[in-house]
Amino acid sequence: MNLGLKEKVIIVSGGAKGIGEGISGVLATEGAYVAIVGRNDADNQKAIEKIQAAGGQAWSFVAELSQPEECKKAINEVVAKFGRIDGIVNNAGVNDGVGLESGNYERFVASLHSNLIHYYLLVHHALPYLKESKGAIVNIGSKTAETGQGGTSAYAASNGGRNALTREWAVELLPYGIRVNAVIVAECYTPLYDRWIKTLPNPEETLAKITDKIPLGKRMTTAEEIANMVTFLMSKRSSHTTGQLIYVDGGYTHLDRALL
């Protein structure tokens, strides 16, 4: 399907690995110019090589997004390269395990910088260009905001904030024709997820228990499935969709009752 994204400049934060890499790849297959923003240029370049091998185009912009000044720098560099911004996918972040008992003020605030504050800052600095293009914003979120997880207060709070910003921005940006939506992830198998599961005492048994709780197909969501939804929401094919939290999770979050 031609989604009308050819040569649209779309920023993907954390776009070099896992879900972000999937998003970057699918956007590029639709002809978008993908600006991958991440802390490691080597990782960015690896993702770019894959995109180019598939016939797409992407560029690396190095920034440590947990540092506020780096967010502004990243936007300035993208604008210097392309002269415009047509969309932002806020994706970068990590479930860092800063809990109520295990954390403290410093770690909690640092986690907010790593998982929430740069969502705000990237859009804040890019807003003049998004107004010009009547662009779109997609925030990637996590089920932890709704279900909780245990031992991850900062990440859950960040994701609650992502959801709230999605709804707030959708209202604030209506006059400019800028659409804002969120894609909520539950269980998606990525290299990071793989590393985490292998730290557990019985990784294969634990993984089987998790996948058995996913109603649709008893399997994990793929990064490509999330990327497909993000790409649709970035496009004019979703031209009357804004302020929505869309769960791409095989029914994990909401079909949590016993299914007969």
**Has residue 255 got a pLDDT over 80?**
no
What is the percent of the chain with per-residue pLDDT over 90, rounded to a whole number? 86
What is the percent of the chain with per-residue pLDDT over 70, rounded to a whole number? 98
Domains of the chain from N-terminus onward: 9-186+222-247 (3.40.50.720), 188-220 (no CATH)
Residue linked to tokens 């960015």: 44
Helix (H), strand (E) at residue 66: none
Residue 73 CB contacts under 8 Å (≥ 6 apart), including other chains: 63
**What is the band of 260 on the pLDDT scale with cuts at 50, 70, 90?**
very low
- How far apart CA 165 and CA 171 sit, in angstroms, is 10
Q: Which residues are catalytic?
A: 155
Residue 164 CB contacts under 8 Å (≥ 6 apart), including other chains: none
pLDDT of residue 172: 98
pLDDT in tens, 184-217: 999 998 888 888 788 888 889 989 998 998 999 9
Give the single-character DSSP code of 142. Answer: E
**Has residue 257 got a pLDDT over 80?**
no
**Has residue 77 got a pLDDT over 80?**
yes
